Amino acid sequence: MRVLAFLFALLVALPLNANEIVGALSQNRVSLTANFTGSEILVYGAIRRDAAEVLAQGTVHEQSPFDVVVVIEGPRETAVVWRKARRAGIWVNVDSVTLASVPSYYAVATTNPLEQIITPETDAEHRISAQQTIRVAAGDDSVEDASIYTQALLRLRERSSAYLTLTRFVHVDRDILFRARVQLPASLTEGAYTTRLYLVRDGEVLNQFRTAIFVRKDGLERWLHQLAYDRPFIYGFLALAIALVAGWGASALFRLIRNG
């Protein structure tokens, strides 16, 4: 009932003179704890259709249906991608490219295959696909074709499930309500995960909506993280003490088992 009430409020609040998309998340905060194994996020929302278009439905001017694209992008980081080559019978690193801005996590959920619902020009303009969102560091011209390294990084991230392509994971009901479930992995990086919703028709983006998911360490994990940065000496001493106690305990247990 809360979801239906929320969607009804969205439909009432939006203006009548344009096709617009608006959405929400089942949760906008994720806590990283010792037993965190991942989290599922429900992305849902509504499409407010242009009044003139609704009135014209059923005529020869009826428009094609909408598509919805949901993008969840993790905090960006710098990545160095190396190319290996065989030298004197040994595989060694020979060339590298620095990618200055790489999402730590990237998921694209769509109503239909992405390449079928947006044009390459639209993808380049809005940077929707994972390939478009990766940027090479300025001034890094050490290799002729940096796209080889970008593709290699994409393959590695997809293999580790850090980058996801979720085709037909977005369900649209009567061109009004939509929903999608996206799985966040256990290996999340702390920070803000930007969530973008695109309303698409005939290859073009008509409207977009942005929100965010905030991921942070919680409990003991956050205390240790803050201690390592704020009090590195105390953190090092504590780590050494734990290691000594654990080693002594394991040795005592081994002697007890052997003598018993």
Sign of CA dihedral 23, 127, 101, 147: positive
User: Which structure tokens are listed for 183?
Assistant: 């799985």
Calculate the CA dihedral of residues 247, 252, 257, 260 and round it to 10 degrees: 170
pLDDT category of residue 63 using cuts at 50, 70 and 90: low
Q: DSSP state, 139?
A: T
User: Which structure tokens are listed for 216?
Assistant: 């942070």
pLDDT(5) > 60: no
Q: Which pLDDT score, from 0 to 100, does residue 175 have?
A: 82
Q: Which pLDDT score, from 0 to 100, does residue 61 have?
A: 47
Q: What is the pLDDT of residues 136-194, one digit of tens each?
A: 665 556 666 778 888 989 999 999 999 999 999 999 998 889 999 999 998 888 899 99
Q: What is the pLDDT of residues 204-254, one digit of tens each?
A: 999 999 999 999 876 555 555 565 666 676 667 677 777 777 777 777 777
Q: What is the pLDDT of residues 29-60, one digit of tens each?
A: 998 877 788 899 999 999 988 766 655 565 44
Q: Which pLDDT score, from 0 to 100, does residue 24 have?
A: 94
Please give the model's pTM, rounded to 2 decimal places: 0.75
